[in-house]
Homo-oligomer: A and B are copies of this chain.
Amino acid sequence: MNVALTTRIKCRDCPIRHRAVCSRCDDDEMALLEAMKTYRVYRAGDPILWRGEKLTFVASVVHGVATLGKSLEDGRTQMVGLLLPSDFIGRPGRRHIDFDVVAATDVTLCCFDRKPFELLIETMPHIAQRLAEIALDELDSARDWMVLLGRKTAREKIASFIEMLVRRQGIVSLDGSTPDLALPLTRDEIANYLGLTLETVSRHLSSMKSEGILRFTDRRHFEVSDFDALHAATGDDTA
């Protein structure tokens, strides 16, 4: 499980200070959280939480990317979320977790034991307020993803996925190209996220490459050369 202690970061220097579940807290409240928190570090590929396990802590992602997945009894799996820095893991008020959480890259979590955290929710309104906000935002993006899973074609799914990556980490210049971007998932993981097979993902990435929409520098790095064409391929409104 590779759980290790990292150098302690002061909350005020924390990279997710202004977006995580603690973001509304004032200085006094932060001091309290500072005393309660612990860090956990995972290597790429490590499981973080396994379905059915006791849920002993809740956490915010500080660094790295984790995946949230679920599987059917015969082994089919579906990724139901990507956990990026500032995202929240766990369900206060519930003893068990119903998903598999896996580190996709090296991951650092800022953790709180579940019981004391539940007490915080009762006593520190800023926590509950921010948690509600985070959960409602997550709900909106989960619903967008449902449209993708239920109604989009393979090509549209892949274009949407790439567009999401660009929006999260990239800048589009005026001629519609981007700088080099990291692809944080393997073809297999992408397929799993999009409700496809890895072959289909590979085929469509290849065809978007040959159409001049994407350019791959290596298999985990690419750039978009025609963002308009990419967007047109998503099937979404021209927003």
Q: Chain A: residues with CB nearer than 8 A to chain B? A: 68, 70-74, 76-78, 80-81, 91-93, 98-99, 121-122, 125, 128-129, 131-133, 135-136, 138-140, 142-147, 149-152, 194-195, 235-238
Contacts and interface: CB of A to CB of B under 8 A. Distances in A.
Contacts of A80: 143, 146-147
A174 to B, nearest CB: 25
Specify how many copies of this chain sit in the oligomer: 2
Contact of A68 (B76, B143, B150, B236): B143
Given A73-B236, A238-B73, A146 B142 contact: yes
A-B pairs, 6 with minimum CB distance: A150-B195, A135-B135, A132-B132, A149-B149, A80-B143, A142-B142
Contacts of A99: 143
Nearest to A74: B235
B195 A72 contact: no
Contacts of A121: 129, 132
A37 B71 CA distance: 42
